[in-house]
Amino acid sequence: MTVHIPPVSAVIFVMSVLLAYFVYKATSQRHPNGPNTGDIVGAITAGAAVFAVLYTLLGTSGTGGQTGESPPAEQRSSVSNTTEMVRPDSAE
C-alpha cells in the first residue's frame, strides 16, 4: 500500500528535524557535562513545536483534495412521504 505524503508536509517535517538537530548540537557545545551530551528533550520539543506551528499554518490548506473514495450512497427512508390517508378496507 502506498501512502501519499504531500510535498508541503514533507518539507515541514524536514525543517523541524533540522531545527531539532541544530538545537541538539548547540546545547551539546554549551552543556557543562562534556562535549557529547546535549539536551535531547529540548531538541525534540523544539522540533515538535516547529512542526505543529508550520503544519497548522501551511499544511492544512491542501487536505481538502480527493481521496479516491466514492461519496456515500443516498439512503432511502423507510417511512413513506405520502400525505394521503390510507384507510383499511372495511369487512362487510
Q: What is the pLDDT of residues 3-43, one digit of tens each?
A: 887 888 888 899 999 999 998 888 887 766 666 677 888 88
Q: Parse the chain into domains and list their residue ranges.
A: 7-61
Report residue 79 as a C-alpha cell: 417511512
Interatomic CA distance for residues 52 and 44, integer angstroms = 12
Interatomic CA distance for residues 53 and 12, integer angstroms = 10
Interatomic CA distance for residues 38 and 21, integer angstroms = 10
Q: Does 91 or 11 have the greater pLDDT score?
A: 11
